[in-house]
A = this chain, B = another copy of it.
């Protein structure tokens, strides 16, 4: 089954609102085995809505429209679509009463403007709106479905999940798919591709996408019904992936690295503290985004100045003088210092030049040293990132978390 999404609203085309509705609809359909081939976004303009619908019905079996069902003057979707399908709008007394009851329950008198929402196309099927006043509409023509839903995200989501998806599942029982996400870091998209290219041929029936982020590359694998029952093939795929990339893949279940590290620490009943210079608090911010992190994260220090590195992290004055703050040696002393200060199993440190200023002849922007002290051992590593301050912070934070993961799991860098 082929589907197309039409999103309606000026706010989407002025850049005021991110079109998260289209993403949500696409995700739900994709996970139900329905393929979305096009998505259109149009203004609150009847002729634009009609021409988008016409085009969509030419190339898709299912059209999902969202937006413009509210009571105000710029909500013109219902009228435009009804005109397109040549249906009259008629007043529904029962709908009107239902809306009045909804407002009554909230203790507000229904504004007269909402009366327009009780007009619906003749013979149209209505979709219940469990959380709002505007009903959804279903038009069937020549074995094709057009679903018209509100633009308010929670109303649209409820309608999609309660009515649209169940209806499509009934229409297409064979449409189910399986989705797996393998997250990697420390290896470029192109290098992954080179490693896997040859072996991927065997799995050409899998849909495999490389999704790059600042912090690494996600591999998304989608298997359709035909492949889903062949578990042996998928096991072969995972072995192949593991053979080439086991050191780089940190999660197979859609979790972020900070959560993976948190789980490792929880399992071992171990704790962590962090000493940050160039990352400026970002690593700790990431760690504390995970609910329950207070069980293993004791705290840390952001030491931007040399004085703070000496006073709070016990970095030796001599080390700073001899090697400079951005050095292997200081990263090591910071990691050990924070481990001692907080008496944790693991100590993580970062020092570097975030940019865009602050470079010297021997120390360019993007130069970063990361230290990981774990029990009685300490590892350090040098990285050379780019020139963008915030991206350097992101990359250094991810590299530090990954180094900690590897040290705990005894994976060689």
Chain A interface residues (CB < 8 Å from chain B)? 10-20, 22-31, 35-43, 48, 52, 55, 70-74, 105-108, 111-114, 131, 152, 154, 188-191, 193-194, 207, 209-212, 214, 220, 222, 274, 276, 278-285, 287-289, 291-294, 297-305, 307-308, 311-312, 341-342, 354-358, 384-386, 388-391, 393
Closest 9 CB pairs of A and B: A15-B27, A280-B288, A281-B284, A281-B281, A15-B26, A39-B41, A281-B285, A111-B190, A299-B308
Known A38-B42, A108-B191; further 8 A-B contacts with Cβ < 8 A = A11-B211, A17-B211, A72-B210, A106-B385, A111-B191, A154-B388, A291-B355, A308-B342
User: Nearest Cβ distance between residue A62 and chain B, in whole angstroms?
Assistant: 13
Is the CB–CB distance between B16 and A211 below 8 Å?
yes
Contact at B284–A154, with CB atoms within 8 Å?
no
Known pairs A23-B19, A289-B393; A299 contacts B298 (CB<8 A): no
CB pair A72–B299 under 8 Å, yes or no, is no
What DSSP secondary structure best describes chain A's contact surface?
mixed
Q: Which residue of B lies closest to A40 (CB)?
A: B40
13 contacts between A and B (CB under 8 A): A12-B23, A12-B39, A13-B37, A16-B209, A16-B211, A17-B23, A39-B41, A72-B210, A74-B209, A114-B190, A274-B302, A288-B354, A312-B312
Residues in B neighbouring A31, C-beta threshold 8 A: 15
Complex: A52 Cα to B301 Cα, angstroms: 52
Q: Which chain B residues border A388 with CB–CB below 8 Å?
A: 131, 154
B389 and A106 contacting across the interface, CB-CB below 8 Å: no
